[in-house]
């Protein structure tokens, strides 16, 4: 027993926290595979791992090594695992993680076949209007495994150097060269697969040439670019290991309207504001004006484009254009034309979250067909000035590779992004499900609007949790008693799969045991995420946060698993873990 003392109204109250005991399912598994004995041999452990945990490739030698490492420091040499050792082993995330820790997807397909971990305005330290621009959030994003870094590049005041900032706002700039150097230094800290730099370019041809020189001198042989004029198919992540890739509009497609403001990459039924079109005006005015503008239908846009199309100086620097691997286009027609798939050319298209929501009703299958070969980038609407995020599944359901998120904050939506990219060894590239890449006999593709039949059911059992007494002070949750923990389990995915469950509250226990099971029917398990959050019940105030994680359901390993929890900012807690069981039926 672990004892904790608290002072309350001048009296000393003493609460006991029960030691964590193996749940009944663990005892039953031990008894079954140890064949009634007191210890589990290496061969018996191998059978448990293969038959109960679904780890079919485990050898007796691997089981022997596990036993050696589990027993190291716990006991002198003995003949196998006792029940206590077996339970200890199950609670070790290094041996018993809920998802695979290695890259295991096919990495030889074109880039368009993958969801890619993508940041939005990667240089911002806070809000979209007045925060500092810095290389620090870029470094942090790369260390988390983000593979697409966005930089907005503008001339400095003397027009002889290039700055990174959110244009026409009060954000303080950072030099482009500093951002490029930090990308070079940290690009492959988390993953060997390519880093894509998307440039939102507001430069003169002379400064574009300067950027080309900066990029080539900074990255050297790390920089990949096509030898020909343009690509007919994107290269694969495997072929681009440890390479840097540039994505932007070719210079000749940078056009200006009559009043000198840049146009956004696409207009659907109306005018979508540029990500750079927010100004240094009052935030409330900006939001109000943006909401009005986004409801307008503007025929003037096309007229402005036609008037500017042949302006001199728009060809830009050929050195700059040559470095662009993923070319972003500016379609001049409606969305249906923009989504046309060209046989011998691939490109990138950008849509705001609102434009996607408008388009998906009438053009959902067109978007899926486009993303089978081309790259689609989704970005937050302009009114998200606090750097909030949106529901990423709308983009993923339509095959969008680059669902761009503001990475500098935290919240439940950002946890979904982190959960998706825990898949495939956290390498930042997740192979899209086959159904998003397939065509039927009549060239039909997946329709995101249709509700599909039940495919499988996930059973989740929450046994117990431990480690809070090591990671939190004794009075963190309650000044006068041990915490009252409960666990929330939620599936997020296509609308038909959304579900929420919650365990009972366990009063006054640092090591709660719930032993509760929930079922989640799934129609599209390939895109479903499992959100797990522990909270501490508070009768008078908001329940306290006790840890969370988000896991890709397609990657879950069956059986009894140790599930590490993270804090609100996505940093792993040192000791806090849940013991859970996952089964697919």
Q: Say how many C-beta atoms besides its own lie within 10 A of residue 9's C-beta.
A: 6
Q: What is the pLDDT at residue 93? A: 92
Q: Are residues 393 and 316 in the same domain?
A: yes
Does 556 lie in the same domain as 414? no
pLDDT band at 304 (very low <50, low <70, confident <90, very high): very low
Tokens of 131: 């925060």
Q: How far apart are CA 379 and CA 355, in angstroms?
A: 10
Same domain, 132 and 235: yes
For residues 46 and 361, which has the higher predicted lDDT (pLDDT)?
46
Question: For residue 323, what are the contacts with CB-CB under 8 A and spacing of at least 6?
Answer: 212, 215, 216, 223, 225, 246
What average pLDDT does this structure show over 357-378? Answer: 95
Whether the predicted pLDDT of 212 surpasses 90: yes
In a domain, 468, yes or no: yes
Asked if 123 and 42 sit in the same domain, the reply is no
Q: What is the per-residue pLDDT for 543? A: 94
Among the listed residues 273, 247, 271, the one whose alpha carbon sits nearest the alpha carbon of residue 169: 273
Q: Which of 546, 578, 532 is closest to 482 using CA atoms? A: 546
Mean pLDDT lowest for which of 252-261, 302-311, 392-401?
Answer: 302-311
- What is the pLDDT, as a whole number, of residue 18? 55
- Asked whether residue 46 falls in the same domain as residue 161, the answer is no
**pLDDT tens track for 473-525:** 999 998 889 999 999 999 999 999 999 999 999 999 999 999 999 999 999 99
Print the domain residue range for 160. 111-424
pLDDT score of 76: 61
User: pLDDT at position 356, please?
Assistant: 94
Asked whether 501 and 507 are in contact (CB, 8 A), the reply is no
Of 91-100, 140-149, 288-297, highest mean pLDDT: 140-149
Closest alpha carbon to 249 in 232, 264, 237: 264
Whether the pLDDT of residue 305 is over 60: the answer is no
Q: What CATH number corresponds to the domain at position 196?
A: 3.20.20.190
% pLDDT > 70, the chain: 85
Cα R_g (the chain), whole angstroms: 27
Mean pLDDT, to the nearest integer, of 137-163? 97
Full-model pTM: 0.87
Element spanning 353, H or E: helix 353-371
Q: What is the CATH number of the domain that holds 73?
A: 1.10.238
CB 396 within 8 A of CB 388: no
What pLDDT digit, counting tens, does each position of 63-97 carry? Answer: 999 999 999 867 666 779 999 999 999 999 999 99
Q: What is the CATH number of the domain that holds 548?
A: 2.60.40.150
Query: Which listed residue (120, 202, 393, 398) is catalytic?
Result: 120
In angstroms, the CA 235 to CA 262 distance is 30
Mean pLDDT of 229-250: 94
64 φ, ψ to 5°?
Answer: -60, -45
User: What is the average pLDDT score of the chain?
Assistant: 87
Q: Which of 115, 93, 110 has its CA nearest to residue 417?
A: 115
> What gap in Å lies between CA 319 and CA 199, rounded to an integer?
15
CA–CA separation, 355 and 516 (whole Å): 42
CB atoms within 10 A of CB 473: 7
Query: 48 in a domain, yes or no?
Result: yes
Lowest mean pLDDT among 4-13, 44-53, 80-89, 212-221: 4-13
- Could you tell me which residues come within 8 angstroms of residue 560 by beta carbon, excluding any fewer than 6 positions away? 25, 26, 29, 52, 53, 90, 96, 463, 579, 580, 581
Asked whether residue 221 is domain-assigned, the answer is yes
Q: Which of 64-78, 243-257, 463-477 has the highest mean pLDDT?
A: 463-477
Round to whole Å and give the CA distance between 379 and 120.
7
Q: pLDDT tens for residues 320-339?
A: 999 999 999 765 678 888 99
pLDDT of residue 540: 80
Buried b (16+ CB within 10 A) or exposed e, 281-320: eebeebeebbeeebeeeeeebeebbeeeeeeeeeebbeeb
Q: Are 353 and 381 in contact (CB under 8 A)?
A: yes
Q: Where are the beta strands (DSSP E) in 202-314?
A: 223-224, 244-248
Distance of CA 237 to the CA centre of its chain: 17
Residue with tokens 């690009």: 187
β-partners of residue 278 are none
pLDDT above 90 (res 276): no
Domain limit, last residue, from 90, 123, 147: 90
| Statement: residue 462 has pLDDT above 50 | yes
Strand partners, 15: 4
Phi, psi of 62 (to 5 degrees): -65, -40
Residue 60 lies in a domain: yes
What is the mean pLDDT of the segment spanning 144-168?
Answer: 96
- Is 262's pLDDT higher than 90? no
**What is the pLDDT, as a whole number, of residue 38?**
93
Residue 330 is predicted with a pLDDT of: 62
* CB-based contact 230:343 (threshold 8 Å): no
pLDDT of residue 72: 83
pLDDT score of 10 more than 90? no
> Does 239 have pLDDT greater than 70?
yes
Predicted local confidence at residue 345, as pLDDT: 92
d(CA 409, CA 418): 12
431 within some domain: no
Reported confidence tier of residue 583, pLDDT bands at 50, 70, 90:
very high
Q: 277-294 pLDDT, tens per residue?
A: 433 334 444 344 444 443
Do 432 and 399 meet the contact criterion of CB atoms below 8 Å apart? yes
In 314-436, which ranges are E strands?
A: 324-327, 348-352, 375-379, 402-405, 429-431
Tokens coding 31: 């008894």
Is residue 379 situated within a structural domain? yes
The rounded distance, in Å, linking the Cα atoms of 373 and 448 is 18
Which one of the listed residues 166, 202, 363, 398 is annotated catalytic? 166
Mean pLDDT of 154-171: 95
45-54, 438-447, 461-470: least confident range:
438-447
In a domain, 515, yes or no: yes
Q: What percent of the chain has pLDDT over 90?
A: 76
Told to judge if 166 belongs to the known catalytic residues of this protein, a careful annotator would answer yes
Give alpha helix (H) positions in 426-474: 434-437, 468-471
Categorize the per-residue pLDDT at 313 as very low, low, confident or very high, splitting at 50, 70 and 90: very low
Residue 492 and residue 463 share a domain: yes
Q: Which of 59, 90, 121 is the last residue of a domain?
A: 90
* Higher-confidence position of 135 and 284: 135
Is the pLDDT score of 144 beyond 80?
yes
Predicted local confidence at residue 6, as pLDDT: 35
Give the mean model confidence (pLDDT) for residues 340-344: 90
pLDDT at 301 over 80: no
Residue 302 has pLDDT above 60, yes or no: no
Q: What are the tens digits of pLDDT across the range 370-380?
A: 999 999 999 99
- For 531-564, the pLDDT digits (tens) are 999 999 998 889 999 999 999 999 999 999 999 9
305 and 383 belong to one structural domain: yes
Instruction: Clarify whether 363 is annotated catalytic.
Output: no
For β-strands 244-248 and 195-201, DSSP reports them as parallel
Domain boundary among 90, 119, 144: 90
Question: Is the same domain home to 201 and 286?
Answer: yes
- Considering the domain architecture, whether residues 74 and 129 belong to the same structural domain is answered as no
Identify whether residues 186 and 221 lie together within a single domain.
Answer: yes
- Domain co-membership, 410 together with 517: no
Q: Is residue 457 situated within a structural domain?
A: yes
What pLDDT was estimated at residue 384? 95
- Residue 404 and residue 519 in one domain: no
Total domains present in the chain = 3
């Amino acid at each position: 027993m672990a004892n904790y003392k608290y002072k309350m109204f001048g009296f000393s109250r003493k609460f006991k926290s029960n030691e964590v005991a193996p749940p009944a399912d663990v005892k039953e598994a031990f008894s079954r595979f140890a064949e009634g004995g007191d210890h589990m041999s290496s061969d018996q452990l191998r059978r448990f791992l293969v038959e109960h945990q679904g780890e079919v490739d485990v050898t007796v030698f691997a089981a022997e090594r596990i036993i050696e490492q589990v027993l190291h420091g716990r006991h002198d040499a003995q003949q196998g695992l006792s029940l206590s050792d077996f339970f200890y082993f199950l609670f070790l995330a290094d041996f018993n993680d809920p998802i695979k820790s290695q890259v295991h997807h096919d990495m030889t397909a074109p880039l368009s076949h993958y969801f890619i971990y993508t940041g939005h305005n990667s240089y911002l330290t806070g809000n979209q209007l007045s925060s500092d621009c810095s290389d620090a959030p870029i470094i942090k994003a790369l260390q988390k495994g983000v593979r697409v870094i966005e930089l907005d590049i503008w001339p400095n005041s003397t027009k002889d150097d290039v700055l990174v900032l959110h244009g026409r706002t009060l954000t303080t700039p950072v030099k482009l060269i500093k951002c490029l150097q930090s990308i070079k230094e940290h690009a492959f800290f988390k993953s060997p697969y390519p880093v894509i730099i998307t440039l939102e370019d507001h430069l003169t041809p002379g400064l574009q040439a300067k950027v080309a020189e900066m990029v080539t001198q900074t990255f050297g042989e790390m920089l990949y670019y096509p030898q020909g004029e343009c690509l007919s198919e994107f290269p694969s992540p495997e072929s681009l290991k440890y390479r840097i890739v540039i994505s932007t509009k070719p210079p000749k497609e940078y056009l200006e309207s009559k009043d000198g403001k840049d146009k956004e990459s696409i207009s659907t039924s109306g005018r979508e504001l540029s990500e750079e079109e927010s100004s240094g005006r009052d935030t409330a005015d900006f939001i109000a004006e943006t909401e009005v503008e986004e409801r307008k239908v503007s025929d003037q846009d096309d007229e402005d484009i036609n008037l500017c199309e042949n302006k001199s100086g728009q060809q830009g620097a050929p050195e700059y254009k040559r470095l662009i691997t993923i070319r972003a286009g500016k379609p001049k027609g409606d969305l249906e034309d923009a989504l046309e798939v060209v046989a011998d050319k691939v490109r990138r298209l950008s849509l705001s979250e609102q434009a996607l929501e408008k388009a998906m009703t009438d053009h959902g299958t067109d978007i899926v067909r486009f993303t089978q070969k081309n790259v689609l980038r989704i970005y937050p609407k302009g009114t998200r000035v606090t750097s909030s995020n949106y529901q990423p599944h709308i983009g993923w359901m339509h095959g969008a590779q680059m669902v761009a998120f503001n990475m500098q904050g935290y919240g439940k939506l950002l946890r979904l992004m982190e959960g998706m990219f825990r898949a495939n060894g956290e390498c930042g590239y997740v192979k899209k499900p086959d159904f998003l890449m397939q065509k039927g006999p009549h060239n039909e593709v997946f329709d995101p609007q249709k509700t599909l039949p039940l495919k499988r059911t996930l059973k989740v059992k929450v046994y117990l949790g431990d480690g809070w007494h090591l990671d939190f002070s004794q009075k963190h949750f309650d000044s006068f008693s041990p915490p009252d923990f409960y666990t929330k389990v939620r599936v997020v995915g296509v609308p038909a799969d959304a579900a929420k469950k919650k365990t009972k509250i366990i009063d006054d226990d640092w090591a709660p045991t719930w032993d509760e099971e929930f079922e989640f029917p799934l129609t599209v398990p390939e895109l479903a995420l499992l959100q797990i959050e522990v909270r501490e019940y508070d009768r008078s105030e908001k329940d306290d946060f006790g840890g969370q994680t988000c896991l890709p359901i397609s990657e879950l390993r069956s059986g009894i698993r140790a599930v590490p929890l993270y804090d609100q900012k996505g940093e792993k807690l040192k000791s806090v873990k849940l013991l859970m069981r996952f089964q697919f039926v």
